[in-house]
């Protein structure tokens, strides 16, 4: 995405990385899809709105492997940082800002392939006559329907390994942050088996903060694609489909009720179709659906959703 909004070199470099990341990820997904294609929707906020910005939404629907795969890139600029963003940096209050990120959710067709979410983003304050101050956030997390221990360990191991160069503390902190964030309080349930999540990150200098963001973004395909490869041809039927649709209802509940980006985005006039890229293509609800104790469905609740250390020896 060429972009005339941005002046500082730091933010231009991040935008360029994000643009390339969206392309690499959608290329990798498209390679699994003999028929379906990504629709590319370039959008721009109408002139005159307070927040100016543009984005590129890429979405594949009705694929052979992915029933719905949305990858959004957005870049917005506003005249004044909101107070919530400058609580710890009062000298930046009211500064112009830019926010940019790539966000994706993939809903596979085969119930044995987990749903996945990944996001990398940067918020830059641009105080007049001074250099940009940038914070980073993001992460990735996995939501299986039928848990497979090997897949969960692989996903977490990859998250661990990409963060390792940035310090021993990063994976455990961001893993717990993810568990805390992706929790459905009204169900007393985790959304999935977690992964990593971080926000407002600026512990290193800009170059190293950005390097960590890149490590996470670049880690997504190696964390997820091998799981898709292993499970996509596993046979499934009505039973698995029914459980998948029911569990996707939880995904909807989390995103619309608890996810701050989604809930406040919709309430505050964000671009609805981009925000709701995360919605599953289909979902279902049933009253007090119970699972046969010991069944594969019941094991999701007993063996996979409860928080645990996936990398314990």
Catalytic annotation, residues: 117
**Candidate segments 87-95, 110-118, 138-146, 266-274, binder of its own copies by CB under 8 A:** 266-274
1 to 40: interface string for its own copies, x by CB under 8 A: --------------------------------------x-
Pick from 225, 281, 296, 303 the residue near its own copies by CB under 8 A. 281
User: What 3 state SS string does 61-113 have?
Assistant: ECCCCEEEEEEEEEEEEECCCCHHHCCCCHHHCCCCEEEEEEEEEEEECCCCC
Return the DSSP state at 187: T
Alpha-carbon torsion 170, 174, 101, 30, what sign?
A: positive
Exposed / middle / buried, residue 52 (Cβ in 10 Å: 0-12, 13-18, 19+): middle
First to last CA, the chain: 44
Q: Is 272 in the site for its own copies (CB under 8 A)?
A: yes
Distance (Å, rounded) from C-alpha 224 to C-alpha 155? 7
Q: Is 287 in the site for its own copies (CB under 8 A)?
A: yes
Q: Is 51 in the site for its own copies (CB under 8 A)?
A: no
Q: How many CB atoms lie within 10 A of CB 205?
A: 9
Q: Is 192 in the site for its own copies (CB under 8 A)?
A: no
Pick from 63, 70, 144, 192 the residue near its own copies by CB under 8 A. 70
Alpha-carbon torsion 235, 28, 102, 310, what sign?
A: positive
Q: Measured from the CB atom, is 88 or 185 closer to its own copies?
A: 185
213 to 252: interface string for its own copies, x by CB under 8 A: --------------------------------x---x--x
**Candidate segments 85-93, 127-135, 140-148, 286-294, binder of its own copies by CB under 8 A:** 286-294
Q: Is 63 in the site for its own copies (CB under 8 A)?
A: no
Is 122 in contact with 280 (CB distance < 8 Å)?
no
List the structure tokens of 289: 């659906």
From the list 53, 55, 52, the residue with the least C-alpha distance to 43 is: 55
Q: Is 187 in the site for its own copies (CB under 8 A)?
A: yes
Question: How many positions of this chain bind its own copies (CB under 8 A)?
Answer: 36
Pick from 154, 179, 280, 305 the residue near its own copies by CB under 8 A. 280
Pick from 20, 27, 40, 41 the residue near its own copies by CB under 8 A. 41
Q: Measured from the CB atom, is 13 or 276 closer to its own copies?
A: 276
Alpha-carbon torsion 257, 260, 261, 264, what sign?
A: positive
Q: How many CB atoms lie within 10 A of CB 249?
A: 16
Interacting residue ranges for its own copies, rule: CB under 8 A? 39, 41, 57, 59, 61, 68, 70, 185-187, 245, 249, 252-253, 256-257, 263, 266-267, 269-270, 272-273, 275-277, 279-288
């Amino acid at each position: 995405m060429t972009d005339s909004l941005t002046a500082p070199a730091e933010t231009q470099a991040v935008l360029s990385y994000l643009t390339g990341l969206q392309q690499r990820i959608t290329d990798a997904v498209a390679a699994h899809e003999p028929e379906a294609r990504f629709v590319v929707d370039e959008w721009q906020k109408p002139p005159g709105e307070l927040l100016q910005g543009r984005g590129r939404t890429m979405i594949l629907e009705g694929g052979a492997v992915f029933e719905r795969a949305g990858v959004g890139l957005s870049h917005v600029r506003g005249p004044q940082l909101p107070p919530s963003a400058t609580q710890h940096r009062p000298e930046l209050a009211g500064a112009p800002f830019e926010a940019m990120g790539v966000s994706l959710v993939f809903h596979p067709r085969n119930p044995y392939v987990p749903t996945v979410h990944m996001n990398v983003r940067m918020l830059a304050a641009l105080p007049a006559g001074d250099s940009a101050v940038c914070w980073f956030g993001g992460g990735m997390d996995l939501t299986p329907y039928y848990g497979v221990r090997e897949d969960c360990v692989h996903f977490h191991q990859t998250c661990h390994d990409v963060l390792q160069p940035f310090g021993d503390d990063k994976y455990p902190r961001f893993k717990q942050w993810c568990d805390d964030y992706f929790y459905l309080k009204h169900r007393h349930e985790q959304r999935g088996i977690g992964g990593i999540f971080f926000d407002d990150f600026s512990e290193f200098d800009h170059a190293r903060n950005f390097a960590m963001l890149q490590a996470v973004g670049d880690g997504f395909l190696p964390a997820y694609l091998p799981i898709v490869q292993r499970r996509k041809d596993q046979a499934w039927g009505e039973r698995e489909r029914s459980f998948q649709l029911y569990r996707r209802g939880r995904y909807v509940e989390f995103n619309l009720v608890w996810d701050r980006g989604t809930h406040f985005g919709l309430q505050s006039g964000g671009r609805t179709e981009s925000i709701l890229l995360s919605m599953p293509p289909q979902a279902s609800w049933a009253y007090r659906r119970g699972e046969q104790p010991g069944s594969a469905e019941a094991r999701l609740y007993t063996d996979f959703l409860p928080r645990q250390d996936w990398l314990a020896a």
